[in-house]
A and B are shown apart, each in its own frame.
Chain A
């Protein structure tokens, strides 16, 4: 009988968790693929016809429909698509002929950059604000922070974006009006052009982070252990806060991971306003032009990313809190 080291034990536990979660995610993915496939086919109008619009030549329309198997019965089309996906072939854009995998790879860094910048900004503001609000509970600071957070959550993103463009890009000319320069091309310009869209996106996220940090801090601060220590005068205020923070970090980190997953796909309107060629803009355009392969491929891809983020959140939760590794 080999005695397993504690490190090996925890590693095995984490691995088991990941595998279990992936297995559970599989039926979800399958259902998702059916939903996104079916939903699109329900949309009125036909991609080929939409593409042709002004110059509809019925012959060419038929040829293209055959080429993309649009005349096949739906289940066959679905199976053909799934079969290709499993081999790594997500199909090609009906509109431009470019392979979907290529499109995804081109846009992934853009979306990741935007999401990362928004997340960093949100954390830089939200977490400190939440700590402050918790420590000064029910004071003016607390109310002010909450008011700002609620405002951040209530402002329509697209409105804020347009106003910011008008002020910072057109009137004051300090920032570029639209949001994308490849980071490899010019690092600072790239950051500069994403400042506004990242800020707009970060408002709601910062608000959530602030409120969750506040409530997480509050629940730790009011825990018996801290209360006793405080009552006994054992620990200084800063030590208490630091300790509370370490414990409150857990839910904050998991929330942040989940929100990141949200950001990856959800910046639809912000991307539209700031002309950022990320996933959000891509999907919306593809829905409107009935570019089936693109919508299916990108939604499936982002769903996998989202599920991966969820699994990561669970793993982080366990890694940070050893007590949860072995459910009783």
Chain B
């Protein structure tokens, strides 16, 4: 038996076809540009920020945007522009890490449930349904409150709350792919389950997962802002857009710039990820092949 089972399950031309399609999608490019822009801001924050985000000046409380303070100052005199830059780190991390956790937990569980079926699938699916029946924000709140308010715990909470979606998605994809010839072939030659899953099934279920992950980053960023709004996310004095918005709402009439900029930043970043996710979905959509 000398059959060399092809490991490259997706023909190279097809893969690049997806990327090329993405590149032609203006919306997706725009989204990618926005995301990249904010990532750059976050990464180079220490170089760009004119002030220390923690430095408070009691004489400069709630000043409107000016040459001195580009986006104005907050309720204890800190520069909003600097805090926005450093806050980008917290918000972007919240989005990415939460989704990474959800992927790390959800995809393996989905793979196992879909591949092995039977009782394991039944058990995992029931738990997933139970978790999905709890409103996700409530679940995140309960988890964050249990772990204690902090950015890390908020990310953990949001990640766990988002896991069921990925379990269900992965499982669905695995069920669709399980009966394909190459999978049957792999099993026929006695390939161990682990390898089969990783080498043959995983690459072929990735596309929708990638799309969902991009979109979930967007919801995770809003979720972190929501948790901060309730006092459970990034804790002061560390900057995060959500907690900045939480404080800013108390000064809506006196200092509207405190809410406009963090709120606007959240909106833009989330929009960027949504556009990107859309583009990815269109690019990777098997129906158009």
Q: Write the residues of chain A forming the contact surface with B, with a CB cutoff of 8 angstroms.
A: 25, 27-29, 31-32, 35-36, 39-40, 42-44, 143, 146, 150-151, 153-156, 158-159, 162-163, 166, 170, 262, 265-266, 268-269, 272, 280, 283-284, 287-288, 295, 299, 302-303, 306-307
- B134, B252, B271, B278 — which one has the most chain A CB atoms within 10 A of its CB? B134
A159 in contact with B218 (CB, 8 Å): no
Q: How far is A203 from B226 in the complex, measured between Cα atoms in Å?
A: 17
B131 in contact with A268 (CB, 8 Å): no
Instruction: Kindly list 18 other residue pairs between chains A and B, CB separation below 8 angstroms, not including A29-B133, A288-B145, A302-B133.
Output: A28-B133, A31-B127, A35-B130, A43-B145, A44-B148, A143-B27, A146-B27, A151-B271, A156-B225, A156-B263, A159-B266, A159-B267, A163-B259, A166-B253, A266-B136, A280-B135, A284-B230, A299-B135
Distance from A133 Cβ to chain B, minimum over Cβ atoms (Å): 13
How many A-B pairs fall under 8 Å by CB? 111
Q: When A269-B226, A302-B135 are in contact, do A287 and B141 touch as well, CB less than 8 Å?
A: yes
**Could you say which residues of chain B place their CB within 8 Å of the CB of A32?**
130-131, 133-134
Q: How far is A155 from B135 in the complex, measured between Cα atoms in Å?
A: 19
Distance from B240 Cβ to chain A, minimum over Cβ atoms (Å): 13
A162 in contact with B252 (CB, 8 Å): yes
A150 in contact with B271 (CB, 8 Å): yes
B135 in contact with A43 (CB, 8 Å): no
Digitize B232-258: 1 where CB-to-A-CB distance is under 8 Å, 0 elsewhere: 000000000000010001001100000
> What are 18 A-B interface contacts by the 8 Å CB criterion?
A43-B145, A146-B27, A151-B271, A153-B218, A153-B274, A156-B226, A156-B263, A158-B229, A158-B249, A159-B259, A163-B259, A170-B253, A266-B137, A268-B138, A268-B141, A284-B138, A299-B138, A303-B134
Asked if B275 is an interface residue, CB under 8 A from chain A, the answer is yes
Give the nearest-CB partner of A303 in chain B.
B133
Give the nearest-CB partner of A306 in chain B.
B133
Asked if B201 is an interface residue, CB under 8 A from chain A, the answer is no
Give the nearest-CB partner of B148 in chain A.
A44
Q: How far is A61 from B134 in the complex, measured between Cα atoms in Å?
A: 31
B259 in contact with A162 (CB, 8 Å): yes
**Could you say which residues of chain B place their CB within 8 Å of the CB of A265?**
135, 138
Q: How far is A170 from B278 in the complex, measured between Cα atoms in Å?
A: 38
Asked if B52 is an interface residue, CB under 8 A from chain A, the answer is no
Q: How far is A288 from B232 in the complex, measured between Cα atoms in Å?
A: 11
**Could you say which residues of chain A place their CB within 8 Å of the CB of B148?**
44
**Could you say which residues of chain A place their CB within 8 Å of the CB of B137?**
266, 268-269
Tell me which of A31, A151, A155, A283 contacts B138 (CB under 8 A): A283
Distance from B113 Cβ to chain A, minimum over Cβ atoms (Å): 15
Distance from B242 Cβ to chain A, minimum over Cβ atoms (Å): 8
The 3 closest A-B pairs by CB, nearest first: A303-B133, A32-B130, A154-B270
**Could you say which residues of chain B place their CB within 8 Å of the CB of A150?**
271, 274-275, 278
- Identify which of residues 124-154 in chain B touch chain A, using a CB-to-CB cut-off of 8 Å: 126-127, 129-131, 133-138, 141-143, 145-146, 148
Distance from B186 Cβ to chain A, minimum over Cβ atoms (Å): 29
